Amino acid sequence: MSRTILPVWLVTLAAAIVVGVVAGAAYLTWLPVVLAGVTLLTFAIQLMLQRKEETVTRMVFSIGGALVILLVATGVLAVLHPAAAVAA
């Protein structure tokens, strides 16, 4: 695993936990914001690298993994806050 993928996943996991704790039932508003933020973080990390080979592959794995983490977080939060999922 590339050293640029894991930091994005860890930031995504930490942000999802923060959203779950702080936002409560408004999690459906904030999880897309987290995805946008980690997408920008991925771009920034890739631009800082000197190595340009496989940039797209690293970005796909970073953003794809972040998306999976956020999908799991959405499922967990939907179970914890069922009224918010139905209202949306």
Has residue 2 got a pLDDT over 80?
no
Q: Is residue 64 part of a domain?
A: yes
pLDDT in tens, 35-44: 999 999 999 9
Q: Is residue 27 part of a domain?
A: yes
Q: Is residue 88 part of a domain?
A: no
Which one has a higher pLDDT value, 6 or 1?
Answer: 6
Angle between helix 5-22 and 27-48 (nearest 10): 160
What pLDDT score does 72 carry? 97
Output the pTM of the full model.
Answer: 0.90
Q: Is residue 55 part of a domain?
A: yes
* 70 three-class SS: helix
CB atoms within 10 A of CB 6: 13
**Host domain of residue 47:** 5-82
Total count of domains within the chain? 1
Q: Is residue 87 part of a domain?
A: no
Has residue 78 got a pLDDT over 80?
yes
Q: To 5 degrees, how large is the angle CA 6–CA 35–CA 69?
A: 55
Question: One-letter amino acid identity for 27?
Answer: Y
- Give the C-alpha separation, 17 to 8, whole Å: 14
